[in-house]
Amino acid sequence: MLALEFMNGTKIGRIQRLEEKGFDTKVIARRLTKSFFKQIFEYGFFHADPHPGNLLVLPNGKICYLDFGMMGSILPRDIEVFGKLFLAISRKDVNKVIKALQRLSNEMVVDDMRSLEFDISEFIEKYYTRDVHKNEMSTVLLELKDIIIKNGLVVPSHFFLFARSLVTIEGVVQKLDPKLDQFDLVKPYLSHAVSKGFDPIRLGEKAYNSIYELTSYMEEFPRDLRNAIRRINSGQVKVDLTHKGIDPMVHTINRVAKQLVSAFIMVALIIGAALLITFKIGPLWSDYSIFGIICALVAVILAIGMLRDISKGDYDR
């Protein structure tokens, strides 16, 4: 056993002992809930085994976690998706729940979308009619797990580790304060996680990376095309086409083609607007070319649409 230091406190499961020392168990329950969800939705690194034996209440009332042998980590992208998932459930938005699940499963194409929509809709209705769901987010994840498996989706392993740790932490909170509404406490963290996706700096970085990748692709495309033609002419290429699995590729090609066309049109409009405004080609408005202003506005609208598509990602309805 490797021990780092001695921590003096009271085991969180000893309710009577905590009350004898003057602690308010309701305050401790709120503090524990907030600390755990902060680990999940702010740091993406959480204690995956928070049972009562691994939790101490220090003399100053703070929560101390013990035994870091089992820890979980979540990618920043998945933190945002988890936030969107729970908010979509709370708002009864079936389409956004499906979109979040697809993003967690790396944009897998669902074979039977109608069946998935029915399962999600039924699940959300149960969430609003059964009191147990309102205070147990782990129940939400565990029931979603059954839907995920049934519909052939594949989600990251930390999804199940997150659900397991939630079951444990909610059992502790239930003993401290049975009436605590955990979802009300987690909502600010969910909103913060989702709002990161609309950060102008992050959106700018995504747009820059997309343009950079597009430029690199356009630079390499002629050489790759020439090499492909040479291989075809020399008989080195064998083509075996099957329809199975081609839909995701077609969807991706259509999306890329759409963004390419939008990008070319936007660049042309920006150049045209600059020329029209610089040379003051009439009609004029306040010494500016009206056609130039219109071109600039259309370019801005196209740019906003491209950024929106980039932030949304793929979603097969």
Q: In whole angstroms, what is the distance from residue 40 CA to residue 158 CA?
A: 11
Mean pLDDT (whole number) for 249-261: 73
Which range (114-128, 160-174, 228-242, 270-284) has the least confidence? 228-242
pLDDT in tens, 37-62: 899 888 889 998 999 999 999 999 89
Which range (23-27, 199-203, 221-225, 235-239) has the least confidence? 199-203
Mean pLDDT (whole number) for 283-299: 82
Mean pLDDT (whole number) for 202-209: 67
Q: Which pLDDT does position 32 carry in this prediction?
A: 93
Query: What's this model's pTM, rounded to 2 decimal places?
Result: 0.58
Of 292 and 196, the one with more pLDDT: 292
For residue 95, pLDDT beyond 50: yes
Give the bridge partners for 73, in sequence order.
45
Q: In whole angstroms, what is the distance from residue 119 CA to residue 121 CA?
A: 6
pLDDT in tens, 121-160: 888 887 665 554 455 677 778 888 888 888 888 777 778 8
Contact in structure between 47 and 168 (CB atoms under 8 Å)? no
Contact in structure between 187 and 37 (CB atoms under 8 Å)? no
Tell me the chain's radius of gyration from C-alpha atoms. 27
